Structure 1
Amino acid sequence: MFEVSAEILILLLGAAFFAGFLDSIAGGGGLIALPALMLAGAPPVTALATNKLQGMFGTATAAWAYAAGGHVSLRRQALPAAIAFTASMIGALVVSWIPTQWIRYTLPFLMIAIALYFALKKGLDDTDRHERLSPMVFSLTMVPLLAFYDGVLGPGTGSFFMLAFVTLGGAGVLKATARTKLLNFASNAGAIFVFAFVATPWWATGLAMGGAQIAGARVGSRLAQKKGARLIKPLLVLSSSALALRLMWDWFQ
């Protein structure tokens, strides 16, 4: 039934749980799940597609938990989510036609910049600030741009959404985290919709990992709502830095 042995499946479920936990708080769950899938023997495209599949469950669970906690309105995010879904689909469709090597070389430096911003910027807490972009302008510019990137490549999408919501959307750290999850779910869904036709996801394994993602996301989102920026900021710095180091390591492989 499953594409891997029982022993490897148990390890993948553990990886998915921790990925869901981390992703629900600070993003970066793919840093755990994607390498685990590749170590399990999945070809790169299969690993990418399966990662999108299992990641949907964690981001959906986190989005629902933050909405239930009153930190975001899913109804108001319906249009941005639809835009993210469409833009990610387009990115996944054109990924084989556009050069991505330059992105791979610049991405680690962007992730380091995000880590430094959240580590060094004074006054970043859960308090909302002045919006530099209205919600509509944000939805028509930053959302499709970042969702398209998620369909093309993907690493760091949650962190990029977080940074955009804080710096341009005027959201506090907790609210930015909450707003990120539904859009990240929509971009994952758009990518897997395309990958279902052009790639070969491990469906059974991915769905099982999705169950573990749900459990991890439930724990992580509850903890984040209790601790707020005190927990989210250091984990975001840690996950962004780790992703940058991982991407730099890939340069030499």
Structure 2
Amino acid sequence: MVYLKNRGMETVAPAVLLALFAVALIAGSVDAIAGGGGLLTLPALLLAQIPPVHAMATNKLQSSFGTFTSAMSMRRKGLAGPVDMQAPFLFALAGSAVGTVTVQFIDTRALTVVVPVVLAGIAIYFIAMPKRPDRDVEPRLALAPYNSLVVPGIGFYDGAFGPGTGSFFTAAGVSLRGQRLVPASAQARMLNFATNVASLVVFAIGGKTMWLVGGIMAVGSMSGAYLGALAVSRGGARLIRPIVVVMCLGMLVQYLWRQGWLPF
């Protein structure tokens, strides 16, 4: 068994730590572009025989550093656009914190229906999305209800479950706020950082985080996030759109397989 608790110290084989670093490097790059990096890191932690709750907590640690790096890189490059992120950031924090606390006391089996439907919907939306002008369009939802309802709702989902949160924020920005794909993706990284941090704090208070493992993965995640943000600045919407579709479909297949709903 790779993961052990010995007098409060975590023990993971060096080869496993190196493999987790490599997975986090790739996941950080993917996450910066389209979201869905957790599709790689969380299963890797579970394959390392780390208990599920500790794996979720440790995944939040490494992804917090990755999303922070990608968010700051995109903001410095001006990809997020001139938008005030203070209110949605706080709403995302609150939603995620409530979700992380709530999931420890409720039956989450309803998510087995909700998650695949939402992932499939996002993939179909980006596949069918017509070519948009290189400017923001008229929003379908006003800023106040978007910030106070949609953002904390996605934050709650991330705290309670997590897969695809970055893609959800991107899709919501494009479909509900009429944003261009690149600014929506950049702002999604900032909001995803908020949800990761809030969830991490709750897990840390409960003593569930493996700091050594998460720290090593964080280095890989930050490196990958920087490369991913650089790729977005050069590839723009042409890069984001297909990767969002691939990651959503990948998460959907993985989720259906884990639930035993696929014949293989």
The TM-score with structure 2 as length reference comes to: 0.91
Q: Distance in 1 between matches of 2:94 and 2:114?
A: 25
Say which one has the larger Rg.
2
Alignment TM-score, normalising by the size of structure 1: 0.95
Distance in 2 of aligned mates of 1:143 and 1:200: 26
The CA RMSD measured in Å over matched residues stands at: 1.7
Mind listing any 5+ residue stretches in structure 2 that lack a counterpart? 1-8
State how 1:121-132 maps to structure 2 within 5 Å.
Answer: 121-124=129-132, 127-132=135-140
Question: Which stretches of structure 1, 4 residues or longer, exceed 4 Å deviation after superposition?
Answer: none
* Whole-Å separation in 2 of the counterparts to 1:122 and 1:72: 22
Task: Give aligned pairs, total.
Answer: 253
Say if 1:178 and 1:125 are closer, same or farther in 2 by CA, change over 3 A: farther
Is 1:37 the counterpart of 2:35? The answer is: no
Question: What residue number does 1:18 align with?
Answer: 26
Contact conserved, 1:127 with 1:173, CA < 8 A, in 2?
Answer: no
Is the helix fraction higher in 1 or 2? 1
Aligned to 1:214: 222
Give 5+ residue unaligned stretches, structure 1: none
Question: 1:159 aligned to 2:167?
Answer: yes
User: Cα deviation per residue 1:65-118 (whole Å; 9 max; x = unaligned)?
Assistant: 111011226981122111111211111111122221111233112211111110
Give the residue type in structure 2 aligned to 1:95: V
Q: CA deviation at 1:124?
A: 4.2
Which of 15, 18, 23 aligns to 1:7? It is 15
The one of 217, 234, 244 aligned to 1:226: 234
1:19-40 Cα deviation digits (max 9, x unpaired): 1000000000000000000001
Alpha-carbon distance in 2 for matches of 1:100, 1:184 = 21
Q: Distance in 1 between matches of 2:176 and 2:71?
A: 21
In the aligned structure 2, how far is the partner of 1:36 from the partner of 1:220? 20
Q: 1:126 to 1:5 in 2, by over 3 A?
A: farther
Pair 1:193-2:201 in alignment: yes
Summarize the Cα distance change of 1:187–1:5 in structure 2 as closer, same or farther, 3 Å threshold: same
Contact 1:130 1:170 in 2 (8 A): yes
| 8 Å Cα contact 1:162-1:177 kept in structure 2 | yes
